Every structure is written in C-alpha cells, then in structure tokens.
Amino acid sequence: DGRVGVTLDKLPTFMNTLTMTKNIMSPVYQMNGGKDTVFYRRALGSSAFASNWSFFDHLLIPAGASVGRHYHAGVEEIYLVTRGKGKIRVNHEMAEIVWGDAIPVYAGEIHSIENTSNEPLELMIYGVALEKGKLDEVAVPLTMIKLQMFFEVAPEKCDAFELNYSETYIPALRQQVGYLGSKLIRVYPPDQAKRTGGAASKFNYQMELMFDTEQHRLMWTRTQAHNVAWAKTAALATSYEWRGYDVVGMDQVADPIGPRSLTTEKKY
C-alpha cells in the first residue's frame, strides 16, 4: 500500500500516543521466561494502522530483569532504546545496547533482552506483521547443555594446566556458534575435602562447557580449533573423563568472580 492520495492526519499517529510513563504500564512477571518483573504497555494496536504496521509497545526493564527467549513467526520488530543500557541476543549473536540504538528483529529470529546496568532500560517496540492482523509469539524454553570434564593433573603441571584454559581453550571456544560459557574448577586438596565431607577422587580439576544445544556442541568437537585446544589440554593431564547433561534449571544472581574473571579482563 503506497498510501498515495490519502488524507494526512493532523497529528501523526506515532505522535499521538499519550503519556509514556511507568504508572500506566502493567507489571509482567518473568515475561517470556525472563528474570523478575518488567513493565509493559501496548500503546497502539493493529486497529490504529491501515497498513501492516501492527503495534507500538512500551517496555521498561528494571535493573537485573530480562525478557526471555521468544520469537514471532509472522511479525518483524524494531527495538528502539530510549533510556539505559543492556544486552540483546538475537539467535546466537549478542550485542550491548545503549540509548539511541535501534535493533531490527526479523520474523523467526529468537531474541531476548536483559538489563545489565543499575538503571532502568526503556525501549519502544515497533511491530509489522507479514500478514495484516496476524500476530503471534512463541516462547523458547531453556535448552542449554553442559559438558563436564574431569582431569587428573600432576602437581608440577597445575600452573600450566590453568594457564592453558585461559590462553588456549577460551579463545577456541569463543569462535564457536552456540557457546554460552565455561568454567575451570580446581577441586579442594584432600585434607580440605575430608573436612567438608567430600568424596575422594583422583581428579583434581573440572572443566564445564555450556552450549545452547547439543548440535552446536558436536559442531565444536569437529573444528580445528577444538582439536588444537583439546590436544594441548589432554597432554597436560594424566587421565580424564567426561559426562554430558541437559540443563533443566538455572539461577544466578550475579557473577561471583566479578572483575577478577579472566574472561572479562582479557580481550580476545
């Protein structure tokens, strides 16, 4: 619809949206499976538009809250950041967002938004339906998998093993589609483990790798980057074994390591 010859509105529709404030928004707890409570309002619905424009939404995400993973099979959106900053994930890409950014999300793309700052993150969302009047929204449940590897490392090789994780394994993992994060954990020494009632084990290190799907984890194991990183890691270990898990629940209030984390201090 080229809108040729139509009568112009005295006030453009997008200018006549009344007050955009929190007190007229509705709280939504764990929106699309996200964290905590966000505030949402549909300022304009599809009836306000003659074309395939479908909605104009106002979204406010408090500090620490998020909108979970979801997609629209028949709707495309533009997220405009009007206040604050945070992170947006679209499929397997993540980007920092700040005031003034506009992020297009096409039909079928899985996306989520998180406020990673101490101030509210506020957005305007413009939606366009592929077919006028047909709106949809599909939540995407948590599908992460975790590979947990156990290593027996001789005392004289421990320093090299830990350095290998930060200098070899992390850079290789960060090249992979679907990689979400990893941890290298050193098991308590035998005397400390005994005091805490821990079971005896020959393994003194654990490495946890998180991927969004098992398919992407398998793709990683077939890459040259994996082969190089694994060869260096295995060479430093006396023995090793691993187990795989489906992640069926997860909660993390904050990064317990914070600025000391090698993955935030080092730039790859």
Annotated domain spans of the chain: 13-139, 145-265
Residue 243 pLDDT: 86
Residue 189 pLDDT: 82
Residue 4 pLDDT: 81
Kindly report the CATH class assigned to 145-265: alpha beta
CB environment 197-233: b (16+ within 10 A), e (fewer): eeeeeebbbbbebbbbeeebbeebeeeebbeebbebb
Edge-to-edge strand ranges of the sheet holding 93-98: 93-98, 85-90, 111-114, 66-71, 138-139
Contacts by 179-182 with C-beta closer than 8 Å and gap 24+? 179/209, 179/210, 179/211, 179/216, 179/220, 180/144, 180/210, 180/211, 180/212, 181/210, 181/263, 182/207, 182/208, 182/209, 182/210
For 17-115, list the strands marked E by DSSP. Answer: 26-29, 37-44, 53-61, 66-71, 75-83, 85-90, 93-98, 102-105, 111-114
* CATH 2.60.210.10 is held by the domain 13-139: no
pLDDT tens-digit readout, 3-45: 688 777 766 555 554 556 777 888 998 898 888 899 998 888 8
Q: Are strands 75-83 and 145-152 parallel, antiparallel or unpaired?
A: unpaired
Residue 264 pLDDT: 37
- CA 137, CA 49: separation in Å to the nearest integer? 20
- pTM of the complete model: 0.50
Residue 88 pLDDT: 94
- CA 160, CA 146: separation in Å to the nearest integer? 24
Q: Which residues of the chain register pLDDT less than 50?
A: 17, 259-268
Residue 129 pLDDT: 86
- CA 182, CA 229: separation in Å to the nearest integer? 14
